[in-house]
Structures are given as structure tokens and as C-alpha cells.
Amino acid sequence: MDAKPLLLALFLAPAALAADPYGHRELSQRIEAQQLHLEQMNRDQEQADQHAEVMRRLDQIERQQRPQPTPAAEGGYYPELMRNQCLAFPQTPGCQ
């Protein structure tokens, strides 16, 4: 068995790979595309997190500004509901 073709192939293989940059370029492009995709996903997640934080703060502000129910001793109603009930039923306790 002649070893010359095998040795020649082993010797020329690295040169053949180096001469074929397309395979390397394609791999580099895939890696770059994946990195860009991950960066976009990170930006999207950051925007979603910021949006959630803004919505949480708005909800907190809204809850602070919402009218508080009156104590149970005063009927346990929101003030405008108590006023409407007093207009409809003047004999209700707490309406005099």
C-alpha cells in the first residue's frame, strides 16, 4: 500500500481548508446573527421590564389616589355612595 496519497492529503488538508474561507465566513455570519438576535432579545426584555415597572408605579399611584372607603361606623361606603344613599333614603343612620 502506497502511503504517498494519504500523506499528501494530510499535508494539503489544512491548506485546502485555509483556501476555502466560505465555510469559516458562513460560520462567522451565523455566530454574528445569533449574537445580534440575543442582543435584540435582551433589549426587548429590558423594555418589557421597564414597561412593567412603569405600570406598577402607575398602579401604585392610582391606588393612593383612589377614594378610601369610610369606616364601618359611618356606614362602610365610599363617600359618594353614602351621599347617594342619603339622598335616596334620608332615614338611613348617619344621614342626618
The predicted structure's pLDDT at residue 34? 93
Q: Are residues 55 and 92 in the same domain?
A: no
The predicted structure's pLDDT at residue 91? 78
Q: How far is CA 52 from the centre of its chain?
A: 7
Q: Are 85 and 95 in contact (CB under 8 A)?
A: yes
The predicted structure's pLDDT at residue 93? 76
Q: Are residues 59 and 73 in the same domain?
A: no
Q: Are residues 60 and 82 in the same domain?
A: no
Cα distances (angstroms) measured from residue 63 to each of 77, 91, 92: 17, 32, 29
Share of the chain above pLDDT 70, in %: 58
Q: Are residues 91 and 61 in the same domain?
A: no
The predicted structure's pLDDT at residue 50? 97
- Domain hosting 94: range is 68-96
Number of folded domains that form the chain: 2
Query: Tens digits of per-residue pLDDT, 1-36?
Result: 566 666 666 666 666 556 655 667 778 888 899 999
